[in-house]
Structure 1
């Protein structure tokens, strides 16, 4: 990895932000509405990076072709939209990491598969909108990650060369997108990973266990 990357880009859920508490709250609230007992947080947490579709699969065992799927999917998203930042926080140590990048004048941004409907209010609610140099969501591109389009767009908006930039993520598609964009990739084990033992198979350039390890790498 270059000593001073031209930019550092982060995935959102499970990498930059611990959004799981709000996903867990909303899914269990929806289950309660349907007369079902709450699920253990860890049972939900590991699937958060796969979005609302995964939440409905975990919470109700439904796939998109099921006749009841759309109603529950819509209800979940509506619940989540009204409370995207109730319990969501930066991962411990992440604010210090971001401050260090800012002090070194290294721009950082977010490239996520989370729709702008949720991502923009969330970033604003946490006061990151004035610090984040770029936010790229699926709404801004034709193809989602693992396609590299979003990462290439983010680098273009930052005036950064992808080969000199870093992408950090907690899902195999993040690493694949970063590799496809020609960026240095860092996989984080602290994220929402359904099968932790597979992380080493993602072909990331670097793997870290904690935010502290990530900060040390980016130093």
Structure 2
């Protein structure tokens, strides 16, 4: 569990509520840290398997809410942040590959195509029981890269914990031809523009 220093000018406004990121992802932790708020991280222990006939948006939103609400009893007076991302290619969901072989298969299937990344966000207030949520859709067009380039990229980055094997914040950007999004942080895993709106609505002063 990680704690970050709270700026002095925000101490009074934030002292009453704990902010908890329901994730152990280093990518989401780094993103949330950009807001300069004190927060903790905790593993939500949620099964991330998609349900039969569930849409990508439905899967990501259900899991984001489940992750945030999973910490309700552990943090009875806190604001809990959950997020989940699902990649969609030709109507099929792409999750985290987990292994090198699956990552190769994912990247080969994505070559030269456009896919959607559905990144959902949930903010659960364990004091009131209220859960707010939002979902960002980022469209990514991949380059027509070679098998050798796939192998080089995977050996360098090992993005086996990234949906669709796309680690855009590092060398993965070289595999991408175009990105269309309303929030550049969503593709990395935590839509900060939407999160700022949800936190503000919950009474958190960010700036």
TM-score above 0.5, yes or no: no
**TM-score for the superposition, normalised by structure 1:** 0.28
More helix by percentage: 1
TM-score (norm 2): 0.29
Q: RCO greater where, 1 or 2, for CA within 8 Å and sep 6 or more? A: 1
